[in-house]
Structure 1
Amino acid sequence: MIRGAIRRKSGRRLWSNTVAATGWGESTFAEQAWDKSRGAAARWGVAGVLVGVLVGVVAFAPATWLASAVASATQQRLLLADARGTVWSGSAVPILTGGQDSHDASALPSRLEWTIGPNGLGFEVRARQACCLNGTVALQLRPGLGRVTVKLLPPAGWVGQWPSAWLGGLGTPFNTLQLGGAVRLASPAGITLESVQGRWRMEGRADVELVAASSRLSTLDTLGSYRLTLTGDPASAGAPQLTLSTLEGALQLSGTGNWGTGGVRFRGEAKASSGDETALSNLLNIIGRRDGARSVISIG
C-alpha cells in the first residue's frame, strides 16, 4: 500500500514536471520566433528607408550634378553655367572655354532647356534653345560595358545654328580670328556615334557649315562659306572621316582627315582667290604654315 502510494505520487510528479517542461519550451520557442520576426521587420524597415532615400536622391538630383559631369567629360571646355532644376528636367547657359585656368569664355544668349527620360535600355535627352536649336532636338543614349552609344534624331532641316563668335571662347586660334557669321549643323538622316574603349565609330552623315564667315584679320566683308562633312567609313571600322570644302568665297579651304583613337588628324590648305591675295595675306599667316601662296593646315 505504501509502496503503491509512493509510485502513484512519483508518477504524478514525473508527469507534472513533463508538462511544466513542455510549457516552458513552447513559451521559449514562441519568444524566439517573436524576436526573429521583430528583427526581420526591423531590417525590412531599414531597407525600405534606404531605398526611399535612394529613390529620392535620384529623382531630385540637382542639375548641378549634370553640369559637373559635362564639365569633366569636356575637360572644362563646355560649361553649363547657372544650372537650375534637376538632372531630369533643367536648364543652364552653355559656355565655351579654353579649358581649366583659361581666361577665354563665351556664352550663348539664351538658356538651354532639357528633359531626360528612360528609353528602352537607355535614356532619351530632349533639348530646346530659343536662339540656336531648330525646335526640339532628341538624343538617345545607351550605356554599356566599356561603351556608350549616342544617336541623334534630328528635326526636319538643320539641327542647330550658333553664332561663330561663340567659338572665341575656346581660345587660340578662334579668339585671334574673331569670326563672324554662323555655324550650322545639319544631318537629314541622323547620325549614330559609338565609343568603344575610347575609339569612336560613326554611322550616317553630319555637315557642319560655316556660313558667311568673316574675320577681323581681313579687310573683306566676308571670307566665304564652308562645309566640314563627317561620315562613317566602313573600311575603317566606322571611324569618322572628315572632308573640308569651300562652298563659295574669296578664301579657299580644302582638306581631309579622320577621327581615331589618337584624336583628330587633319591635313588641308588655305589659299586666296585671284585678286584677293593682299586682303587675305595676314589671315593666311595665322591659319597655318605658310608655303608660298598657300597656307598648310595640319592638326594631329
Structure 2
Amino acid sequence: MRSFRDTLNWLPKRRKRFARTGFAESTLAELAWQRTRSAASRWGGWGVLAGVLYGLVAFAPAGWLARSVASATDSRLLLTEARGTVWNGSAVLVLTGGPGSRDASALPGRFAWDLGLRGAGLELKLRQACCLNGEVAVRIRPGFGRMQIELVPPGTAQAGGAVAQWPAAWLAGLGTPWNTLQLGGVLKLATPGFTLESAQGRWHMSGQADLLLLGASSRLSTLDTLGSYRLSLVGAASPSAATQINLSTLDGGLQLNGAGQWTAGKVRFRGDARAAPGSEAALNNLLNIIGRRQGALSLISIG
C-alpha cells in the first residue's frame, strides 16, 4: 500500500499537472480567438477596400471620361463642362486644332450619355437635341487582342436615314484648312448601322455609312452655294478586304469626285475638283486650296 508520505508527495505533482493542462487549454483558446479576430480584421479590410473601389467605379466623375476622350483624339475633340459620372453624364462637344491651337468650335446644347453593361460588353447610349435623331447606341465588345464597336441607329433610321447632322461651320474648330474654308451648310451621317472591328491593331469595317455635305458654301467663293456631296464608306465581308471610299457630287458648281480604300489602318484616296461651266472665275481661289492645280483640275491625293 502507498504510505501516507507517498500520498503527500503524489498530490502536488497531480496538482501541477492539472494546472499545466488548464493553462494550455486557456492559451490555445486565446490563440484561436486571436486568429479569428485577425481573420475578421482582414476580411473587414478587404470589405472596406472593395467598397472604396466600387464607389470609385460607380461614381467616377465625368471628367475622367473627358480626359480619356481628349487623350485619344490628341485634344481635337473635347468634352467640356462635363457633369455627372462616367456612367451617366453630359458635356459640351468642342472641336479644336489640337494642343496649343487657338481654334475651337462648340456645338449648341449639351451632349448626354448613358453607359451600362450589355452581355459581355458595354452599351453607350447617346443623345443631343441639336444633332442626333433620337437615341443612338454604340455597343462595345472587348475581346482577347480584339475590339468590336457597333453603331446602332435609332429606329427611324434603320432604313438608312439620317442618324446625325451637324453644322458644317463646326469643322472650323479643327484649324487649317477648315478655318480658312469657313464652310457653311449641313453635315449628315446616314447609315443602317455599321461595325468597326480591331484585330492585332488593324481596323476593319462592315456595313455602310454615308457622310453628306448639303448646301455647302465657303467664304473663298462668291457663289452662294458650292453644291452638295456624298462620301460613302462601304465595308467588306472579309476582314482582309479593304473598305471602299467613294466621293461624288450631288449638285452644284463645284464638282468633286474620287475613290479610294481604307485598309490596314491606312487611307489611300485619289480624286479631283473642277468648276462647272460658267463657275470657273468664282471658284479659282478655292480650287487652288483644295489640291494641286493641273490646268482646270485641282488634284486631291491622300496616302
> Could you say whether these structures have the same fold, taking a TM-score greater than 0.5 normalized by the shorter chain as the test?
yes
Q: Runs of 5+ in structure 2 lacking a partner?
A: none
Q: Is residue 27 from structure 1 mapped to residue 30 from structure 2 by the alignment?
A: no
Q: Work out the CA distance in 2 between the residues paired with 1:11 and 1:239.
A: 100
Aligned to 2:273: 270
Question: SS where residue 235 of structure 2 aligns?
Answer: strand
Q: Work out the CA distance in 2 between the residues paired with 1:129 and 1:240.
A: 29
Query: CA-to-partner distance for each residue in 1:38-57, whole Å, 9 max, x for gaps?
Result: 11111111111111111111
Query: CA-to-partner distance for each residue in 1:135-175, whole Å, 9 max, x for gaps?
Result: 11111112233332110000122110000000111111111
Number of aligned pairs? Answer: 298
Deviates most, 257-266 or 35-44: 257-266
Q: Work out the CA distance in 2 between the residues paired with 1:18 and 1:290.
A: 110
Contact 2:186-2:215 within 8 A present in 1 as well: yes
Tell me the C-alpha RMSD between the 2 structures. 1.5
Query: CA-to-partner distance for each residue in 1:240-292, whole Å, 9 max, x for gaps?
Result: 32111111111111112223345332211111112221211111111000011
Query: CA offset at residue 236 of structure 1?
Result: 6.0
Letter in 2 for 1:206: A
Q: Work out the CA distance in 1 between the residues paired with 2:254 and 2:239.
A: 31
Pairing of 1:3-152 with structure 2 (within 5 A): 4-152=3-151
Change (3 A) 1:9 1:170: same
Contact 1:63-1:87 within 8 A present in 2 as well: yes
Pairing of 1:210-229 with structure 2 (within 5 A): 210-229=213-232
Q: Work out the CA distance in 1 between the residues paired with 2:58 and 2:239.
A: 41
Runs of 4+ in 1 over 6 A off after TM superposition: none
Pairing of 1:213-252 with structure 2 (within 5 A): 213-234=216-237, 237-252=240-255
Q: Runs of 5+ in structure 1 lacking a partner?
A: none
Question: SS where residue 99 of structure 1 aligns?
Answer: coil
Letter in 2 for 1:172: T
Contact 2:243-2:263 within 8 A present in 1 as well: yes
Aligned to 1:187: 191
Q: Work out the CA distance in 1 between the residues paired with 2:81 and 2:277.
A: 48
Q: Is residue 280 from structure 1 mapped to residue 283 from structure 2 by the alignment?
A: yes
Q: Work out the CA distance in 2 between the residues paired with 1:277 and 1:223.
A: 12
Q: Work out the CA distance in 1 between the residues paired with 2:147 and 2:86.
A: 19
Question: SS where residue 131 of structure 2 aligns?
Answer: coil
Q: Work out the CA distance in 1 between the residues paired with 2:69 and 2:291.
A: 31
